[in-house]
Structure 1
């Protein structure tokens, strides 16, 4: 079997707790912090030292619920009192990242919420700031650490399905955009705020694609949100590999035919992971991970055991990767700002492909009779 990147996953993808968990300062206290960050850190036993939010009362309510002692209205106030070894967890909107990063101590470990800016240009600006300040900076592309992805990554690296020649992500659900009021008015929505997870996940397996083709469109009756349906093709020039990401957030016709899965097919078998979180969001449906082997095809698809779900468990892994790299217990940080900037380049290429509208179809005229 050809030696491909997916056969050599980074050590940080094997989710383990850091040897010495560092105190965490969370900047921002929106829904993602309440629903994922804080439940994950409580489950892992990560110490949350403080919360920062310009609406202090909102932060204080979460602090009271989770027993967090310190609450601040500004990043500068938190930095002035935080422990020297604190890890900063930025859970803001992309337009607020620069100011927050600029207020951090030079050299600090930091986990930045995805996406890394609204555009590639903004991503470059953020990367350059992190470099100037010497920050140990990662992006919270946490789907890489979802428990079913972790198990699929292990199986693929072990050669359980042979050489992977196809990866498909398909999402067809009714997304309740009213739960995310910050997306209203954005010029870019679906790829930048949602499919970025899948593009990043693909890169974490196969590396950077050589080219991208995409169609992304809005719903004709939803003038308040931008593009909500996308089809993205990633091309790997030197491999017989097909990668497709297909998302439809406008499937409002009931749960009978909703879909939310990742599938890898290989020369010796296939793996399918159901992302239950997106089915009937935010309540969610069941997760599942299955494998089928051609050598035992009659046995059909077999369940693969795993523990946890995307929310909140993947956030344990993304924070753990930063802390483990900062303490030196893993040699690389696969979700570093430098790496995830490549994901933003894929996002940018997808939007550029949409703007170019593909290859025009031309039908030759009938040749004139001689």
Structure 2
């Protein structure tokens, strides 16, 4: 049990800031930058040196709001003027990553928005590009760093709930897709753009699965979005683990039965984290973290204190992991492109499983009767 990966989390998952924060150049100024990146970096005291966006007026408005001195219309212009120790923060759509990465200085540190491409093939190409340029490259899979996840990770590593045997992620909400017009027309939506968070989170605790089974389906009347409901099973051959990710973004029946949680069950207890952000997104509902121990079962579920939320605090951790690795204060970078490419392999396996449609259930024909 002590050899299981969840008992030995990377030092980069600890809630600590870099000792010497480097200047940040953010490439792209869409909603995620306004709602998460910039609020997170301001809260952490990370210096944002410049913004890049082809619509300069949009970038300038954010620069004025956050007191950012430099604004550029192209990545090349920003690179030409940026400090040599800048960390680049790419907040674009996957089809734009390659051009942005090519424009960076060789050997630069960069944080790339998730997912790492629309397909595994694209992810491999991006990894190879990063290797060719010698980039210190990570992917912004920030759910790994959400405050309630960080506290759950600490408790599980300490053995508080014993041996982990069940990990369930459940999301049943009414997602306002109109807030994300860039996803309209994508062939792959739910798993690649949303459940990728949960598959990546599972890997950050348990490592790579041995097998993946999945169903992902569209809503019969929402033709502008490809797939909006998924069930994914991850198999770990040598462990009695049940790992499930179940999402339904079409639950339009009111908040009474909406759900958004991560639940870890172990031989000594269980932990449940409520991801409030997804309840009434983007306003969000309350976050919560609860713990129950079998030998104190009469006390029921107890609140576990933590500070912050997924937005914006998890973005402090994902950028912090890159900066701490670059400065040498942590020995590894768990969200490196090389690691997150394995998450993309799980995503690809899920879509392949959907295409194969599972194992047919059939009753053998009675040869005597022909029925």
| TM-score above 0.5 | yes
Is residue 284 of structure 2 the alignment partner of residue 294 of structure 1?
A: no
Q: Partners of 1:357 and 1:137 in 2: how far apart? A: 36
State the Cα distance separating 1:363 from its structure 2 match. Answer: 1.2
Aligned pair count reads: 370
Q: Counterpart of 1:246?
A: 246
Q: CA deviation at 1:367?
A: 4.0
- The 2-side partners of 1:85 and 1:279 are apart by 39
Q: TM-score, normalised by structure 1?
A: 0.99
Match of 1:167 in 2: 167
Q: Which residue of 1 aligns with 2:120?
A: 120
Correspondence 1:64-79 to 2 at 5 A: 64-79=64-79
Q: Paired residue for 1:11? A: 11
Q: Deviations over 1:39-97 (max 9, x none)?
A: 00000000000000000000000000000000000000000000000000000000000
Query: Are residues 1:281 and 2:284 paired?
Result: no
Q: Secondary structure at the match of 2:182?
A: helix
Q: Distance in 1 between matches of 2:309 and 2:155?
A: 18
Partner deviation per Cα, 1:199-227 (whole Å, 9 max, x = no partner): 00000000000010000000000011001
Instruction: Return the alpha-carbon distance in structure 2 between the equivalents of residues 334 and 361 of structure 1.
Output: 41
Q: Deviation digits for residues 119-147 of structure 1, max 9, x if unmatched?
A: 00000000000001110000000000000
Structure 1 distance, partners of 2:3, 2:299, is: 29
CA distance in 2, matches of 1:227, 1:38: 30
Residue in 2 aligned with 1:255? 255
1:1-370 equivalences in 2 (<5 Å): 1-368=1-368
Secondary structure, counterpart of 1:251 in structure 2: coil
Seen in structure 2, the aligned counterparts of structure 1 residues 366 and 90 have a Cα distance that, compared at 3 Å, is same
Q: Secondary structure at the match of 2:219?
A: coil
* 2:101 alignment partner, SS class: helix
| In 2, Cα distance between equivalents of 1:244 and 1:367 | 40
| Cα shift at 1:317 | 0.2
Deviation at 1:366, TM superposition (A): 2.8
The Cα shift of 1:365 comes to 1.9
Distance 1:214 1:146 in 2: 26
Question: What is the distance in 2 between the residues matched to 1:162 and 1:209?
Answer: 21
Q: Structure 1 residue 15: deviation in Å?
A: 1.9
Question: Offset at 1:361?
Answer: 1.2
| Whole-Å separation in 2 of the counterparts to 1:196 and 1:274 | 18
Question: What is the rounded CA distance, in whole Å, between the counterparts of 1:369 and 1:279 in structure 2?
Answer: 56
Shift of 1:2: 4.6
Residue 274 (structure 1) shift:
0.1
CA distance in 2, matches of 1:248, 1:366: 41
Query: Structure 2: any 5+ residue segments left out of the alignment?
Result: none
- Shift of residue 369 of structure 1? 5.7
Could you tell me how far apart the structure 1 residues matched to 2:253 and 2:296 are?
A: 37
SS in structure 2 of the partner of residue 88 of structure 1 = strand
Q: What secondary structure is seen at the aligned counterpart in 1 of 2:51?
A: strand
Q: CA-to-partner distance for each residue in 1:334-369, whole Å, 9 max, x for gaps?
A: 000000000000000000000000001111223416
CA distance in 2 between counterparts of 1:324 and 1:3 reads 26
User: Does structure 2 conserve the Cα–Cα contact (< 8 Å) formed by 1:15 and 1:320?
Assistant: no
The gaps in structure 1 that reach 5 residues or longer are none
Cα deviation for residue 291 of structure 1 reads: 0.3
The list of structure 1 runs, each at least 4 consecutive aligned residues, that deviate by more than 3 angstroms after superposition, is none
